[in-house]
Amino acid sequence: MVVQRLVRSVSIAAGALLILAAPSRAEDAPPRAIPIAVAEFDYRDTSGEVRNQEAEHAARLRRFAELLREGLDRSGKYRAVPFTCGGEPCSAGRSDPAELTAEARRAGAALVLYGGIQKMSTLIQNAKVEMVDVETNRLVFDRWITFRGDSDEAWEHTCRFLVRDLVEAGPAR
């Protein structure tokens, strides 16, 4: 009798271990990161400032796109996919929109993110950001962001805000 109870207890414990060790179902798996192509952003300075800041703005613009890709990758919701547009930097202002979407699709992206920044005055800049589903060619994210300042810190703060917004409000797959 004691042996039977011991065998039964061991059998129950072994069965429980097998159930716990069994592979989880697909619906229990974490969602896969959405492949996204992040285009270079365009820049326009209409502030009328006397000092030429083209080099500074070009560097900030490159860094903005880099930080955006890195932040989206770190989020786990997205996976940045590199893509090119026939020798030109891929941006909405320098590429045909159909080509931009086609290049993103060829690179394996499900989404393409693009936009531009305009410096209105010494203190105010605006960023327009859009995301398109490359299969349906449907706009799935559209934001107008105003930010204050023209420093590395102001641009990086805006980028962090945009990454949070994309992770929280961007499309779900």
pLDDT at 72: 97
Query: How far apart are the C-alpha atoms of 134 and 29, rounded to whole Å?
Result: 25
Query: How far apart are the C-alpha atoms of 15 and 12, rounded to whole Å?
Result: 5
pLDDT band at 46 (very low <50, low <70, confident <90, very high): very high
Element (H, E) at 111: strand 111-119
List the structure tokens of 1: 């009798």
Q: Helix (H, G, I), strand (E, B), or coil: what is residue 128?
A: strand
pLDDT at 169: 85
CATH topology for the 33-169 domain:
Rossmann fold (3.40.50)
List the structure tokens of 147: 């930010």
- pLDDT tens-digit profile of 66-107? 999 999 999 999 999 998 887 677 888 888 888 889 999 999
Q: Number of helices and strands (H, E) in the chain?
A: 4, 6
Single-letter amino acid code for the residue at 23: P
Q: Helix 152-169 vs helix 54-75: angle between axes, to the nearest 10 degrees?
A: 30
Average pLDDT over residues 135-157: 95
Average pLDDT over residues 144-167: 96
**Among 31-45, 83-97, 135-149, whose mean pLDDT is lowest?**
83-97
pLDDT band at 31 (very low <50, low <70, confident <90, very high): confident
Domain boundaries of the chain, sorted by first residue: 33-169
Query: How far apart are the C-alpha atoms of 119 and 113, rounded to whole Å?
Result: 20
pLDDT of 17 strictly over 50? no
Query: How far apart are the C-alpha atoms of 48 and 144, rounded to whole Å?
Result: 22
pLDDT of 142 strictly over 70? yes
